[in-house]
Structure 1
């Protein structure tokens, strides 16, 4: 009856019902259990060490964004990268991880090992250029302060062995046998082992104390490489300290003994031939980890859908299912519940803790398929779980009222390093009955567990504020970041932590009323910190250190690895004045320019901007580049005549705005290297791209990069090329508008907006393009109120009898991209960028006459648009002419059979041509 009662009670998870049967939360229990909420003490925060070697390398894409979503959100609306191709790119990478994005944040990156000499703690962590090397620091107490010690160069100690790939996890195994200690407590042997595994290899180290160096050192023992499958988890044996267990991603188990024969530092290990049977048909499930149980030949193996007990004590391997995810379907909040992590309980080796997406469970290997205790944790995909004794969390207490609870209770720390959310779940036996009673005798044999109070938040970063205003500000700050950036990448988060032992923490702080613990934490910014936590009855909602703007608490670390070595060269910072850019982004560029020009007019001393000689040279260069054509032709005509390659309506509008600028404004926008003033050493020498010599309007296509550097060398001759634009088009257009008296200023604001002017130019360019070009059915006017430019065009453009010399079309790729966005309820379409216009190729004989040299123009009829090759004349031999003719014939035949090409050409073929 008692057993049935316990099983019945365990079916009601804590937090899901108002009065859970296995929850101890009343005044009587509080008086015996004590406070179970732990708050950080702000004044106890101590900075121990800072190094870029402690900061992790760049992590994988954030877990909230799949690869297709990351590419689409990081692609600008005017980018040539097609959103429709992002999904196809992501499809080659397989489905995204359902549980966590990177194994680097799935485990604790900090491990502590107590050294039996001088009360020193060794702190282990990954380091190196690719975080492929084990690093460590020594923590000791001096004058009631915790001091971190590294090597003589103020760096960190590192293992001599580089593992070749990023470290996923470090596991510490202290040697509890003190037989190597003599009466003077000076030891000659090892005091711990390290198991370090990467994605495909496992490595073992021995931690020794070097008398010559007067510090601990790492000795490499050997490794095991798995080439065919990745590593899912590993653990040390609590029974035989030289044994460890490795679980692969395919469910294979390997047992390693460090005292076994090792050939050339390479361990063979023993593969446990587990016959999973039907249990091995995991489908899409994922193997999570393994833990030893109550015997050295009994282990627990966890998968995302089930947990198994593997027993090989009697020669054969027996597999027993301990838990299934279906057990929690009645109480789980998620329809697709999955297990996420496993941990052995600190009480004994028969209990283990298991966490799923919504549930936290304590189970017993002696009771398969029956949980002992359940919570609904309400955390977002927690992947870290560890169990502590309550005596370690409430140490150094002045009051001995709660000694029974400290010795009997346990605390489970559950959370996610990526989400920076951690919770504390305390549990233990029922309240102690009166001695000599029947209940006291029953409690000696009963293993019923109770939840001690409701779960509480554990602020590992020590700077979190639970105040409502701070939560609201932080949410607004998160929403203000770009879609492709997660807030975790912009904030200093905890990557690893460890609880300092009771004997060392007692040397740092005075006794507390209810006790507490000292937390050693590793931050993503490369800081190693310590902070004292004290037990309390209530959670502190408002911390003085944290009650500030989250922008002030966040650091722009982006989790990039800076490097091992310090920057050896002197740092000199030079700055740009971006006041015009700031004014343009705020929409008040005209006001700022007008104000600056008024200040310049008040200046008594004025200098000539250009000399007469330079004016003539510049005008000559601008004419060579095509800027003289619009002196006698309308700007819209010049812009259309400048089309040589497929051009968007947006680019066409920009060319028209450039064509309208007078020569004096073009002189402000272009210059040559020889006319650049010699700048002071404290100023920055600006660099610009070279203007092409072929006649064309900006924006230029495929320009040559700058040929100069910050300082001209005596060995390099100064170039006399024309460069620019030195001033961007919005500034020039605004200056032009101010000189003309601002006739195009907006009536609402009374200011001129270059963006509004560009939008109007796009509408006019689209209207003209629809009148002078053949168009397909997908191209539409962006603005129904666009004005026709009949007065600005030649009469030949309006003649309906003459064939039109332009094509206006909408690329099918843009149309598919629009359909993809529409399916995602993210409709964005801009015809100014998606509508392309180009010249129609003039029909002429492209077949070389007899005896005529084969030229590049003979390929023109393979394309419906007019192409121009920027190449020198090529002379083909007779054999090359025959080969080129054959290639052209075969390619032309392929075009006739290619359906998309035929459909594209048919859109611009007049009925008269079809009849012909």
Structure 2
């Protein structure tokens, strides 16, 4: 079937049985598969790779199900989309692997190259070193201390991308003090871009960098930054909102701060979709003119023409154009790059297609390939002659000069493919068709895409692939196999001049790359052109699959030094979780009592201070167990009945055990830190304001040696010791349980609360009731003997229906019912100039841990204004009104 040229380009190569623009003739094109040469692997040196702190692939739905067994799958799946989606998790991981970690710059007029890469604890600096050949041996030029050279960006921000602009014309690179300018470098971080010049010191034969300056700190994220191929000192920056800035190094200020020229582009005319994900901006490049730009968004690619006063924007490609072979609703563009044979061409990769486009033919692809790479974000276009250089025969020299290769892949997934294309007419050296091909403008794909193994350590035979799949299944769901294997984080291809000095000519040519791995190794590897792809690598086939978990983690300075691990002994916590704490403690206490020696647990000063604090709460040494009303009188801020029951259990403990639970800060045990330094365990100090243990209302602060801190022993342990040593438990021979003891105390609290209730209701209900306690003489800090009003309530958010209870949701009143002291001022509106006037603002009785202070007229006026505003807020706040109704009193703030 005959097709027109336009129709031919609509059939992607590999996506359908019909591929009119696919040319397959190995005898004319030559070999275009590239296999690693195992004998050429050269280790350059090792560096430190900072940890990227990647999150695991555990989605919210899975996290909810594994963290709380009471949550049903239907509930987890219904609320998970509100937090994240699979695409967001993937994008977060890929953000660290969008670009190559290293860039190579050829030193003009010499066969040397400089390798650049981010370095530092946060990748905030630029590291670089030189590769050169001396006496046919590769030499790595480092600084005088044997380390890589470093250049600072004057910022602590992480560098995400490095871009180079080489100076190829000797007339453009200045020569001063034996230092030759060989290129320009920009380093982009999250909110800024920094610029450098790269120099070659001819006298010392070393590289150097000169800091030029940094852009202003943008308020938006920097999406992409690139150099102009037409004007060496110009660069373009794209922000996440689509704003474009043009920077010229000649406009540098004396303060080393660049201020770019904002380009006014009418993006509002191209706002087709309401999806924020499709509106995300992707990349930018210069086209065939210094003022014509190509800007990519996830759903479209645009041509921005700035040659006239008014900016002209044209849509070059839309994701809807590719719907025939990319029907997925989540299809989006992922990468953009300039392409050959001239600056009119560019390539754009989507989730499933790779498209070659021409700016002179909007919305009409020149070539399309169907790729099977998961989320490809790296793309680079090279001449085929660069990949098939240094060959013994020149049979396919013209094909190499006329052909191009697109390297597309993902560093995260360790997948890379090569897509070759060139003129439609095949040719060989000396043939008539070779002359016709020079005037042909139609391009076609050369052979199907082929894989390239950048790590040279992955055998793709069936046995190894099957073994890898089994390893994936053996790993937990939240761990990626990539984090257990050694990955390539970046690579660069050496120039033909330098590569030819390192190896013998290949039969059909090849290329030499420098790569950096996730273990921090810089390596050099030679690849040669072959007629077929090597699926089985003998050096890797018999090796076991590496599961070393060393990826993306800092390497030890002394790799031969054994790692010293510190362990925490959590036997008591494990026993408590398994429900056998009493059994474990009884066994250990029996051994302790056999060798018991009478030792005073406290010095006399600490004992006196502790007694003083406890006496303030009615817990003297000769006291019996305090009445339950004392516990209720201590409840000022809202507390659940679980907290009230817990306070009662604390007050039932003998003073001897309380002395074990609270220590002077100077007596706290010290433990070994990470550097074998002794550090004390940290506990909160006992407050000066009278409170009952375990002192809920506390704030962290610096301690002095005289402060009493605690509890230093968990309460379940104290409760078990109390049962074992004093036999106070009422559970008999059925065994001791902390939960059962707490349940009994909870019932006691509820019974007393019901007995002293003054409402008309006979049972504790959260709708409408108040409680009055007349035992004011037991409240040592009370200034009045009048009955204390109490209120109970249950938060609306915890009011589940019967259906919810059947589905397994928590409906335990011990945690959901709250009680608190009602402010006396809320019942009688009296004027005040002291701290008690704040009682008018809420029904809760406020207690200030601060000196008493009276307020003057100016402060009272401000208080009156704030009180009026708060009253208006109360009137409009439905939740507060519902709370007042449930608690049985009117709103307290009145204007």
TM-score (norm 2): 0.71
* 1:175 correspondence with 2:167: yes
Aligned to 1:789: none
| Alpha-carbon contact 1:109-1:496 (below 8 Å) kept | yes
- Deviation, structure 1 residue 846: 6.9
Aligned to 2:45: 48
* 1:671 correspondence with 2:663: yes
Aligned to 1:193: 184
Aligned to 1:13: 12
Query: In terms of mean alpha carbon deviation, does 406-415 or 419-428 score higher?
Result: 406-415
- Deviation, structure 1 residue 121: 2.0
- Deviation, structure 1 residue 108: 3.3
* 1:358 correspondence with 2:355: no
* 1:726 correspondence with 2:712: yes
* 903 and 132 in structure 1: CA distance in 2 versus 1, 3 angstrom threshold: same
Aligned to 1:793: none
- SS of 2:366's partner is strand
The correspondence of residues 402-417 of structure 1 with structure 2, limited to 5 A, is 409-417=403-411
Please give the alpha-carbon distance, in whole angstroms, between the structure 1 residues aligned to 2:792 and 2:481: 43
Aligned to 1:776: 766
* 435 and 157 in structure 1: CA distance in 2 versus 1, 3 angstrom threshold: closer
Please give the alpha-carbon distance, in whole angstroms, between the structure 2 residues aligned to 1:382 and 1:769: 68
Aligned to 1:906: 885
- SS of 1:775's partner is coil
* 897 and 476 in structure 1: CA distance in 2 versus 1, 3 angstrom threshold: same
- Of 789, 792, 795, 1:808 maps to 792
* 831 and 319 in structure 1: CA distance in 2 versus 1, 3 angstrom threshold: same
* 158 and 464 in structure 1: CA distance in 2 versus 1, 3 angstrom threshold: farther
* 1:688 correspondence with 2:683: yes
- Deviation, structure 1 residue 344: 1.3
- SS of 2:477's partner is helix
Aligned to 2:419: 426
Aligned to 2:320: 326
* 868 and 125 in structure 1: CA distance in 2 versus 1, 3 angstrom threshold: same
Please give the alpha-carbon distance, in whole angstroms, between the structure 2 residues aligned to 1:47 and 1:581: 51
- Deviation, structure 1 residue 345: 2.0
| Alpha-carbon contact 2:29-2:446 (below 8 Å) kept | no
The correspondence of residues 760-771 of structure 1 with structure 2, limited to 5 A, is 760=743, 764=747, 771=754
Aligned to 2:772: none
- SS of 1:691's partner is coil
Please give the alpha-carbon distance, in whole angstroms, between the structure 1 residues aligned to 2:747 and 2:388: 75
Aligned to 1:83: none
Question: Could you report, residue by residue, the CA deviation over 1:24-53 in whole angstroms, capped at 9, with x for unpaired residues?
Answer: 68xx759975473656969947362424xx
Question: Could you report, residue by residue, the CA deviation over 1:285-333 in whole angstroms, capped at 9, with x for unpaired residues?
Answer: 3544333445666554434333344567899987654322221022214
Please give the alpha-carbon distance, in whole angstroms, between the structure 2 residues aligned to 1:652 and 1:577: 32
Computed over aligned residues only, the root mean square deviation of the Cα atoms, in angstroms, reads 6.1
Question: Could you report, residue by residue, the CA deviation over 1:788-845 in whole angstroms, capped at 9, with x for unpaired residues?
Answer: xxxxxxxxxxxxxxx9965332334667xx99xx9xxx99757579625223437689
Please give the alpha-carbon distance, in whole angstroms, between the structure 2 residues aligned to 1:678 and 1:360: 62
| Alpha-carbon contact 1:32-1:401 (below 8 Å) kept | no
| Alpha-carbon contact 1:209-1:216 (below 8 Å) kept | yes
Aligned to 1:456: 451
* 1:620 correspondence with 2:615: no
The correspondence of residues 557-706 of structure 1 with structure 2, limited to 5 A, is 575=566, 577-580=568-571, 583-584=574-575, 587=578, 590=581, 593=585, 596-597=588-589, 600=592, 607-610=597-600, 620=611, 623-624=614-615, 627=619, 632-633=624-625, 640=632, 642-673=634-665, 683-693=678-688, 694-703=690-699, 705=701
* 1:304 correspondence with 2:298: yes
* 555 and 621 in structure 1: CA distance in 2 versus 1, 3 angstrom threshold: farther
| Alpha-carbon contact 1:491-1:557 (below 8 Å) kept | no
- Deviation, structure 1 residue 470: 4.1
Please give the alpha-carbon distance, in whole angstroms, between the structure 1 residues aligned to 2:310 and 2:861: 77
Aligned to 2:477: 479
Question: Could you report, residue by residue, the CA deviation over 1:622-641 in whole angstroms, capped at 9, with x for unpaired residues?
Answer: 74365559964489777555
Please give the alpha-carbon distance, in whole angstroms, between the structure 2 residues aligned to 1:695 and 1:188: 75
Please give the alpha-carbon distance, in whole angstroms, between the structure 2 residues aligned to 1:314 and 1:695: 77
Please give the alpha-carbon distance, in whole angstroms, between the structure 2 residues aligned to 1:777 and 1:99: 48
* 44 and 751 in structure 1: CA distance in 2 versus 1, 3 angstrom threshold: farther
| Alpha-carbon contact 2:491-2:515 (below 8 Å) kept | yes
| Alpha-carbon contact 2:484-2:548 (below 8 Å) kept | no
Question: Could you report, residue by residue, the CA deviation over 1:93-126 in whole angstroms, capped at 9, with x for unpaired residues?
Answer: xx98997689775433421112246643212234
* 879 and 208 in structure 1: CA distance in 2 versus 1, 3 angstrom threshold: closer
Aligned to 2:33: 36
Please give the alpha-carbon distance, in whole angstroms, between the structure 2 residues aligned to 1:675 and 1:250: 58
Q: Number of residues paired by the alignment?
A: 826
* 124 and 636 in structure 1: CA distance in 2 versus 1, 3 angstrom threshold: farther
Please give the alpha-carbon distance, in whole angstroms, between the structure 1 residues aligned to 2:374 and 2:825: 68
- Deviation, structure 1 residue 6: 4.8
Please give the alpha-carbon distance, in whole angstroms, between the structure 1 residues aligned to 2:671 and 2:301: 71
Please give the alpha-carbon distance, in whole angstroms, between the structure 1 residues aligned to 2:203 and 2:506: 40
- Deviation, structure 1 residue 907: 1.6
Please give the alpha-carbon distance, in whole angstroms, between the structure 1 residues aligned to 2:239 and 2:858: 62
- Deviation, structure 1 residue 203: 5.3
Aligned to 2:116: 124
Please give the alpha-carbon distance, in whole angstroms, between the structure 1 residues aligned to 2:813 and 2:478: 28
- SS of 1:906's partner is helix
- SS of 2:549's partner is helix
- SS of 2:882's partner is helix
Please give the alpha-carbon distance, in whole angstroms, between the structure 1 residues aligned to 2:437 and 2:790: 93
* 551 and 686 in structure 1: CA distance in 2 versus 1, 3 angstrom threshold: same
Question: Could you report, residue by residue, the CA deviation over 1:421-480 in whole angstroms, capped at 9, with x for unpaired residues?
Answer: 433132234694689999878766363322533453755596899745545655775634
Give unpaired runs (5+ residues) of structure 1: 79-86, 709-717, 780-802, 912-916
| Alpha-carbon contact 1:249-1:287 (below 8 Å) kept | yes
| Alpha-carbon contact 2:512-2:527 (below 8 Å) kept | yes
Please give the alpha-carbon distance, in whole angstroms, between the structure 2 residues aligned to 1:690 and 1:437: 92
Please give the alpha-carbon distance, in whole angstroms, between the structure 2 residues aligned to 1:22 and 1:431: 11
Give unpaired runs (5+ residues) of structure 2: 71-78, 758-763, 770-786, 891-895
* 168 and 641 in structure 1: CA distance in 2 versus 1, 3 angstrom threshold: same
- Deviation, structure 1 residue 642: 4.1
Please give the alpha-carbon distance, in whole angstroms, between the structure 2 residues aligned to 1:191 and 1:612: 74
TM-score (norm 1): 0.70
- Deviation, structure 1 residue 696: 0.5
Please give the alpha-carbon distance, in whole angstroms, between the structure 2 residues aligned to 1:616 and 1:302: 73
The correspondence of residues 517-532 of structure 1 with structure 2, limited to 5 A, is 517-522=511-516, 528-530=522-524
| Alpha-carbon contact 1:36-1:426 (below 8 Å) kept | no
Please give the alpha-carbon distance, in whole angstroms, between the structure 2 residues aligned to 1:499 and 1:151: 23
Please give the alpha-carbon distance, in whole angstroms, between the structure 2 residues aligned to 1:508 and 1:758: 79
* 469 and 760 in structure 1: CA distance in 2 versus 1, 3 angstrom threshold: farther
| Alpha-carbon contact 2:167-2:173 (below 8 Å) kept | no
| Alpha-carbon contact 1:808-1:836 (below 8 Å) kept | yes
* 408 and 858 in structure 1: CA distance in 2 versus 1, 3 angstrom threshold: closer
